[in-house]
Chain A
Amino acid sequence: MANLEKKAESYEFVVERGAVRAFAQAMQSDNPAYDGENAIAPPAFLITAWRWAPEGGRAQHGIPRARLLHGEQEFVFHTDPPRVGDVLTVQEWVSDRFEKVGKRGGVMEFVIVTTEFRNRTGAAVAEMRSTFIGREAKGDQR
Chain B
Amino acid sequence: MNAIPKVGDTAPDREFGPMTTEMFVRYSGASGDLNPMHYDRDFAQEAGYPTVFSQGMHSAALLSTFAGDWLGAERLRRFHVRFRDIVWPGDVLSCAGEVTSVEEVDSGHRIVASLTLTRQTGAVAILGEAEFLLER
- A: residues with CB less than 8 A from B are 19, 22-23, 25-29, 31, 33-34, 40, 42-44, 47-48, 50-52, 69-78, 80-81
Contact = CB atoms under 8 A, between A and B. Distances in A.
Interface string B19-55: 0000100110111110000000000000000000000
A19 B108 CA distance: 32
Contacts of A33: 68, 73-74
- Give the dominant DSSP class at B's interface: helix
A31 to B, nearest CB: 5
Contacts of A40: 73-74
B76 A72 contact: no
Contact of A31 (B31, B62, B65): B65
Contacts, number: 97
26 contacts: A22-B29, A22-B30, A23-B61, A25-B26, A25-B30, A26-B30, A26-B31, A27-B27, A27-B58, A27-B64, A29-B69, A31-B73, A40-B74, A42-B64, A42-B68, A44-B64, A47-B31, A48-B31, A52-B32, A70-B56, A72-B80, A73-B83, A74-B79, A74-B81, A76-B78, A81-B76
A40 B74 CA distance: 7
